[in-house]
Amino acid sequence: MRVHVVDHPLVAHKLTVLRDINTPSPNFRQLVDELVTLLAYEATRDVKTEPHEIETPVAPTVGVRIAEPMPLVVPILRAGLGMLDGLTRLLPTAEVGFLGMQRDEETLEAVTYANRLPDDLTDRHCFLVDPMLATGGTLVAAIDYLLERGARHVTAVCLLAAPEGIEVLSTAVGDRADVELVVAAVDEKLDENAYIVPGLGDAGDRLYGIV
């Protein structure tokens, strides 16, 4: 598994504002959208293309276009929804699937409550979006869902990751597939409640309020 921390001053600036407890939900949502667009630029670097002949106003030429089957973007509900537009803005032809997962606060295991994915993901480049990689349980379960359906190239896009979660994810993935993690930052650690430190709090609550 490859880990790509996007080192860019705009990413660092927007992430700092996201972390601030005083940033209200409307600003938080907008910043997440902007930040994911920046991360998506790096996350899509290896997207598969094919030659494509066109006519310019001057002469014929051969360019490239996104190859079929089209990429699949999979937000992990509910917080991942706040990242969807930022990625599909750069991949407007991508299809979108959904996984509803939440962490059991006692066992810290991922519990799946919704699944809207194609049955066959053979040769699809899948992009998983979820704001936080904490213990790694949710992302491991989501990647397993994709691999069981034939995916072999998965890119996970997260705002923040904890070292513990990265280790769990790397061990779980092993050599089963080509998996890349793209993040804005890798933070210090998890606390006793398995929250990322310094982190930015509960991303879902800050995006949509406490439900």
Q: How far apart are CA 23 and CA 35, in angstroms?
A: 15
Catalytic residue among 56, 107, 119, 175: 107
Which residues are 96's β-sheet partners? Answer: 73
CA 145 → CA 60, 119, 121, distances in Å? 43, 10, 10
Q: What is Dmax (Cα atoms) for the chain?
A: 65
Which residues are 62's β-sheet partners? Answer: 53
Q: Is 107 noted as a catalytic residue in this protein?
A: yes
Q: How far apart are CA 171 and CA 166, in angstroms?
A: 9
Catalytic residue among 78, 103, 149, 152: 103
* 3-state SS, residue 130: coil
Catalytic residue among 33, 144, 178, 205: 205
Catalytic residue among 7, 46, 120, 202: 202
CA 8 → CA 13, 42, 185, 187, 199, distances in Å? 9, 11, 10, 16, 18
Q: How far apart are CA 208 and CA 82, in angstroms?
A: 9
Q: Is 202 noted as a catalytic residue in this protein?
A: yes
Active-site amino acid positions? 103, 107, 202, 205
